[in-house]
A and B are shown apart, each in its own frame.
Chain A
């Protein structure tokens, strides 16, 4: 898993690639805990994300709960494998997918 962050004022775009799983999600979670301070518009760009397991879903849910309080969150460009996991888990109903 690798990620890239692009911050402009109170908007943050995080592009995540590779695998968001048990091993990699905690690392990104730690980064997010600090990076989301004062962010009101959060965008996850998942264009290059190969797959996501429940550890990655957990990270998105934590981010969604936080952003519901402090602004908004969008999840963009999820591929087929990732979209399928969103559907099975019901996350297509709780995330703003674009």
Chain B
């Protein structure tokens, strides 16, 4: 896997756009299909948004975003790293998508959408860091 780009910014919702633009610039160099790019952009909104809301709450801290490329098969891997409270977003139960509007809880959909659209999502807590990776084949 080749690391091609790295960005560290404060984990705030205002910086989601900066992270999205940064990742999109790399995806464009890779001729990433538009549909995959939109799905990755949504994943960034969900995952970086979660870090911004919860990792250092009520303080603000840094988050690093890595973009890597796998060659065979061609895939892009985006990794989010923060030093905030340990949190594995993958342990939450998937929401029941068959419930009616009245019974549907507000929220709990973000990580589920990411799991649906990405080819792989992995989490580990290592050396005091939350490390969350998404992989999308292209």
Binding site for B on A (CB under 8 A): 21-23, 50-55, 57-58, 61-62, 64-65, 68, 80-81, 85, 88-90, 93-95
Whether the Cβ atoms of A22 and B16 lie closer than 8 Å is yes
> How far apart are the CA atoms of A56 and B46 in the complex, in Å?
11
Q: Which of B95, B98, B109 contacts A93 (CB 8 A)?
A: B98
B41 and A90 form a contact (CB under 8 A): no
Least distance between A74 CB and chain B CB atoms (Å): 13
Chief secondary structure at chain B's binding surface: helix
**Smallest Cβ-Cβ distance to A57: which chain B residue:** B109
Residue contact A53 to B116, C-beta cutoff 8 Å: no
Residue of A nearest to B117 (CB): A88
Contact between B38 and A53 (Cβ–Cβ < 8 Å)?
no
**B interface residue numbers (CB < 8 A to A):** 13-14, 16-17, 35, 38, 41-42, 45-46, 49, 52, 95-102, 104, 106-107, 109-110, 112-113, 116-117
Q: Most A CB atoms within 10 A — which of B14, B45, B100, B102? A: B45
Residues of chain B contacted by A50 (CB below 8 angstroms):
38
Q: Which of B14, B41, B96 has the most CB of A within 10 A?
A: B41
In the complex the two chains form, is B104's CB within 8 Å of A54's CB? no
> Which residues of the other chain, A, contact B107 by a CB distance below 8 angstroms?
54, 58
